[in-house]
Amino acid sequence: MQFPYHVLDVFTEERFGGNPLAVVLDADGLDGARMQKIAREFNLSETAFVLKPEHAAHTARVRMFTPAHEIPFAGHPTVGTAALLAALRAGPAGGGDALIVLEEVVGIVRVGVRLRPGTAPHAEFDAPKLPAEAGTPAPADRLAAALGLIPSEIGFENHRPTKYGAGNVFIFVPVASLDAIGNARVAAPHWDVALQGHAPVGAFLYCRQTVHTTSHFHARMFAPDSGVPEDPATGSAAAAFAGVVHRFDTLPDGTHKRIIEQGYEMGRPSTIALTMEVEHGKLATVRIGGHAVRVAEGRIEV
């Protein structure tokens, strides 16, 4: 059997930047085991499989796999898949706006897609779950050892390591400077002690210093236990990160937008737009947005 696929770069407007994503269409003839093998073959941080929706009013059902296992939700497959389906539906003329409704394992995700001729599609979705604290991470000295840093490089201002989830759970590690975050790496023996089994997806490192003045945070994400040594852009982590920002930066009521830059150390610059709405002192809505550009298409033999 042959299945059509597309490869997109997500959270970027330029090809060969951002986070690459494979999207396999018409995947109803595949079971989970074959999807996992295909994801391992593509060897990208995630591969999305598009199936017929269970409810006719929705656009599609989507399953997502890392090279190691299936995940219930991820940001860049949501953005990339929605942008692709909207562009295919619009045809060569392009243009206009579209609402793509995806049935994901985590639940129903509604994605608004903006199509403009000559520019990469832009997609934005409401996080299917609001961020929630998900336990206590390892002490800062153990996290520092796991990330090849020294304890004094962990934390800045009032930010300290936390564990949050919004569909996927991450350990969030504030790092003191751009230089320090650039030196971070997975130190395998220490990682196994501090993080293996304690970070269902991985560790999201962030600092206030940025490469671009238009960004608010610089980030890196390591997930070796998910088959992803480092991720160029992590939308589901950005959704959970809203809880971290609200907690430590004490956001007042209103709408707040933060730009997260990621992937620079990998040579794949990415830009994630995080929008948070705070009502009565609590997060009411979290939205993740970014561009996606098609890079390749073909058919895969199974």
**Separation in Å, CA 174 to CA 57, 86, 150, 183, 229:** 42, 36, 13, 14, 19
Cβ neighbour number for residue 69 with a 10 Å cutoff: 12
Which H or E run includes 181?
A: helix 178-183
Name the H helices within 65-139: 75-90
46 is catalytic: yes
**Residue 140, SS3?**
helix
Q: Which residues contact 91 (CB under 8 A, 6 or more apart)?
A: none
Catalytic entry in 13, 46, 124, 133:
46
**Token duo for residue 267:** 């040579």
Backbone conformation region of residue 270, classed left if phi is above 0, alpha if psi is from -120 to 50, else beta? beta
Distance set, CA 93 to CA 15, 101, 112, 163, 280 (Å): 21, 22, 19, 45, 44
**3-state SS class at 98:** strand
Q: Which residues are catalytic?
A: 46
